[in-house]
Amino acid sequence: MNIPKELLYTEDHEWIRVEGDVAYVGITDFAQKELDELVYVEVETVGETLDAGEEFGTVEAVKTTSELLMPVGGEVLEFNKQIDDSEGDDPTLINSDPYGEGWIVKIKISDKAELDNLLSAEAYTALVVAE
């Protein structure tokens, strides 16, 4: 299982990569394996400002649909065009490269102090090993 040390994680299996005041958000390698092959990703919150824990979209796999939750509060700036059905339409990028090309949204963080509420790679590893 791949859990990059430079990222932060939520208990709901989202990851966040911070680059200045913006960040990229996706689902973890563990989550994509649990969901299996993804067939559709929906994000209709671009331009909206959401709080930590609020739903910003959904991912649909062959057997189930799962909510995507904001790891921290912020404005949703962009939905990854490569996985958007109106653009590149390749949600399997999340399966093949969950921490790279398979990112889901880019956000502008409202309060960087909220990052302190997230899990380190070590803490996230302990969480998924327990599941």
Residues 103-125: pLDDT tens digits? 999 999 999 999 999 999 999 99
Whether 22 contacts 112, CB under 8 Å: no
CA distance linking residue 55 with residue 41, whole number of Å? 13
CA distance linking residue 119 with residue 125, whole number of Å? 9
Of 12, 82, 99, the C-alpha closest to 41 is: 82
**pLDDT the model gives residue 109:** 97
Neighbours of 66 (CB within 10 A): 17
Provide the CATH topology of domain 8-112.
OB fold (Dihydrolipoamide Acetyltransferase, E2P) (2.40.50)
Q: Give helix then strand counts, H and E, for the chain.
A: 3, 9
- Residue 63: pLDDT band (50, 70, 90) is confident
pTM over 0.85: yes
**pLDDT the model gives residue 89:** 84
pLDDT digits (tens, 9 = 90+) for 76-95: 999 999 998 888 789 999 99
